[in-house]
Structure 1
Amino acid sequence: MNKFQLRPYQENMVSEILGSLAQHDSVIGQLPTGGGKTIILSAIAHEFIKRGESVCLLSHRDELVNQGAAKLEAISGQPVGIIKSGYPDDGDRLIQSASVQTLVRRLRKYPADRFGAIIIDEAHHAAATTYRKILNHFPAAYTLGFTATPCRGDGAGLDDLFSHMVTGPTIRELIEAGHLSPYKYLAAEKSMIVKGAKTRGGDYTSKSLARLNPRDQLAADLVSSYRQHCDGLRCLIFAIDRDYSKAITAMYQAAGIAAIHLDGETPSEVRKAALESFQAGEIKVVSNVGLFKEGTDLPAIEALQMARPTKSLGLFLQMVGRVLRPAPGKDEALIIDHGGNWERHGLPCGDRTWTLEGVQKPKRAKRLVKNAEGEIIEWEPVELIQTNVTTREIQPGNVDHGLQGRSPELDGFWKMALDELLKEREAMGYQKGWVGYRLKDINAPLEVWRAAALELGYKPGWAWYKWRESRAA
């Protein structure tokens, strides 16, 4: 190894993985995005090289192949060959960085004992047939996977590919240690519609999401929330599909904000120039489709807008991981969730227990309360932010909804409507739950539910639970 210095937790992971490989022939390491997995796998590769064994790093995208080769060479101090279309064969080099698609076509060129270890970058993809063909071709090689999210798109585990898992520090621990950026998480009060969306491969289909969510309205909402909460910051957007991303970009440009759309079909030289301009602050907003989920090291990203809902915990964590890399002058990252993803997956720093069988559900900051019918329910604590575009800040530790000791202020129509319902209930002798049914009928906003909870003597969580229930109806 050269001058690169391992952090203490990285040293621990290297030691634990090498120890595990003495007992298991297939090990997967889990480390949050931005935790420095490349330096860890480089240190492990170096140990194999010292024993005279060669190593192959597998990546599923061409850009990751080149990035992996450059980082491995810089960190290990060893020349790295590239197995990819259009590159010369440097087969004598002990470290190879290979494209999965290229290597699977060239397997006949390589003897079964060519590599002592196969290292799989973004190993949550390893269940694909191409990976299995490669691993079967090199049966004697150790298999080491690395990923921030060791689960498939549908949440299933990887226990059929790996026999042992080594986990690193959590997102929360990396933030507390200063290795990831602290963040503020805002969520749109009216999140994108998913009711009626079709699911394929464990996630919503882009086509059905596009059908349910008006494109121009979404684009306008994104520009509005950007203006209110992160005006002037460098922002990355994840969009539903190419048409949506282009419409979002056009809306930003019409508002006088320097923005560009990028996707997998954008020429590499255009992407490179755009990211350099983004890094320099000349471009403020990059809207993308499926391009920056993995393997993108852009600490310049200061804000993130999620303009796509996802059922996939892995995709959610990959998206938010883009904005959590620390950078000089970046005191706090900003995440604006227009897709309601926090309701499905919790917050980025939520406690998660990763296993080979998948991930246990995050321990969200919830309390048990009783609803009007005496049933035990759970509720998610949030803090509301009063702005022109209605968003709320999601904070795990804030458990009183801001209701204790004060009454939400209502005026106009909603004050009159709630007053009338309360008077009618008292006059007719109805149960308290009757007010909730009527609020649901008239599609009352959250602040009305909050005021009703206080008037009826319910705990604060009742308002949040019933309001969310009314939205799903």
Structure 2
Amino acid sequence: AASVLLESPTGSGKTVMGLAIARYMQAVYGYKVGWVAMRRNLLTQAAAENERRGFDVDLTTISMFEKRPPHVDMLVVDEAQHDAAMSMANLHCQIRPQAVLGLTATPFRSDRIRLCFDKVIKDCGIHQLIQDGYLSRYHHYTMPKYTPEAVARFYLADRQRWGKTLMFFHQQQQCDECLALLQTAGVRADVVTSKTNRQRQLDEFAAGRTDVLINMNVLTEGFDCPTLRTVFCRPSGKSCTIQMGGRVFRQHAAEPIKQIVQCRETRHPFSKTAAPDQQFVWTGTAWRTLSVNPQIDAMTELSRKLIARSQVDLPKLVAAHRPRTNPWRRSTQND
């Protein structure tokens, strides 16, 4: 196949898989490899991972918006759900690579334009990777309404519970409103946009000098922070919800349980994608768990075992009418 799409969740190692395939193609076929992405930080991460992991791929990084891209034999498309965009069509026409490898966690687009790859390789999904220990386990929280005031109120009411937090909103005004509420309460928060110094903001967050990052959509891709504990996901459909929630599943020893917070009005609760360890819902005064109480579960199991071992005498009336022959005995010709 000349083009292959590799579908794998956020945090499962798509960049490493892509680099491993690129190294093989370069070693065996002598391909010149280009790595293309929509955001510069994705290109920086790929180059850094190439060096850190020792793949030593001779890699040419290419912006999706490059007007005169260099010629390469193999093109690796990071976040390949953008491959149907006009800018990517222009790149394909100019480069005309012999092989194309697409990497994505969400192989569908809101405009319903189909991605065209000869072959699609699917992984086992977020739920299975959590069960197998490759991604972090998580708790799911459901709040009534999703507004800047509500999100700020829930966060400020229990800052220790949420830890390092990422918040998503639909509009810039909502981001700014939430930022003002948090900063007034003394929270070290920042809004990330396409115009801010994103790398500095991410470095401050990773170093623990910022507690909360707020954005609309820019951090749905290329945001890698294993110490992130909580994501507040704005109401959205399946694709965007998986992109937002997927930020939190990278493993870290200090954060064994991650958290996703959504509202009742969302079109796609994350629990439809992967089963949480526990589910919590806001009752108006406190968070209440929807999961089975482990103590009650243990008592129920013990009761079942005790009942199974108990000797029970039938009532005399029932015993008197018991059949004297075994109803399950196979009949013979002499019966």
Does TM, scored on the shorter chain, surpass 0.5? yes
Q: Give CA-to-partner distance per residue, 1:388-437, whole Å, 9 cap, x none.
A: 26x66676x99xxxxxxxxxxxxxxxxxxxxxxxxxxxxxxxxxxxxxxx
Asked whether the equivalents of residues 79 and 102 of structure 2 are also in contact (C-alpha less than 8 Å), the reply is yes
Q: Which residue pairs with 1:334 in the alignment?
A: 259
1:418-468, CA deviations, whole angstroms, 9 ceiling, x for partnerless residues?
xxxxxxxxxxxxxxxxxxxxxxxxxxxxxxxxxxxxxxxxxxxxxxxxxxx
- Write out per-residue CA displacement over residues 66-87 of structure 1, whole angstroms, 9 at most, x where no aligned residue: 22222223335426xxxxxxxx
Aligned equivalents of 2:124, 2:221: Cα separation in 1: 19
SS at structure 2 position matched to 1:56: strand
The CA RMSD over aligned residues, in Å, is 2.6
SS in structure 1 of the partner of residue 92 of structure 2: helix
Q: What is the correspondence of 1:40-439 to structure 2 with a 5 Å cutoff?
A: 40-50=17-27, 51-78=29-56, 94-102=58-66, 105-107=67-69, 110=70, 114-155=71-112, 157-158=114-115, 161-189=116-144, 191-192=145-146, 218-231=147-160, 233-267=163-197, 271-306=198-233, 308-311=234-237, 313-338=238-263, 340-341=265-266, 344-348=267-271, 350=273, 384-388=281-285
Task: Please give the per-residue CA displacement for 1:139-159, whole angstroms capped at 9, x wherever unaligned.
Answer: 45111101000011245542x
Q: Which residue identity does 1:128 align to in structure 2?
A: A
Deviations 1:113-167 (A, max 9, x none): x422111000000000111122233445111101000011245542xx2121101
**Counterparts of 1:230 and 1:349, CA distance in 2:** 27
Measure, in 1, the Cα distance between the counterparts of 2:157 and 2:77.
41
Contact 1:299 1:325 (8 Å CA) reproduced = yes
Matching residue's letter, 1:281? G
Structure 2 CA distance, aligned partners of 1:46 and 1:323?
A: 29
Ranges in structure 2 where 5+ consecutive residues have no aligned partner? 294-335
Asked if 2 retains the 8 angstrom alpha-carbon contact of 1:27 and 1:144, the reply is yes
CA distance in 1, matches of 2:12, 2:170: 28
Is residue 42–residue 76 contact of structure 1 (8 Å, CA) maintained in 2? Answer: no
Whether the 8 Å contact between 1:46 and 1:76 is mirrored in structure 2 is: no
SS of residue in 2 equivalent to 1:256: coil
Distance 1:394 1:345, change over 3 A: farther
Is the Cα–Cα contact under 8 Å of residues 120 and 144 in structure 1 kept in the other structure? yes
Distance (whole Å) between structure 2 residues aligned to residue 184 and residue 70 of structure 1: 32
Which structure ranks higher in relative contact order (CA pairs < 8 Å, sequence separation ≥ 6)? Answer: 2
CA drift at 1:322 = 0.9
One-letter identity of the residue aligned with 1:329: A
Q: Structure 1 regions of 5+ residues with no counterpart?
A: 1-23, 80-93, 193-217, 352-363, 365-381, 399-473
The Cα of 1:384 is off from its aligned counterpart by: 4.4
The code of the aligned residue for 1:238 comes to F
Larger radius of gyration: 2
Residue type matched to 2:182 in 1?
A: Y
Closer, same or farther: CA 228–177 of 1 in aligned 2, 3 Å: farther
The Cα of 1:229 is off from its aligned counterpart by: 4.9
Residue in 2 aligned with 1:460? none
Q: 1:272–1:144: structure 2 CA closer, same or farther, 3 Å change rule?
A: closer
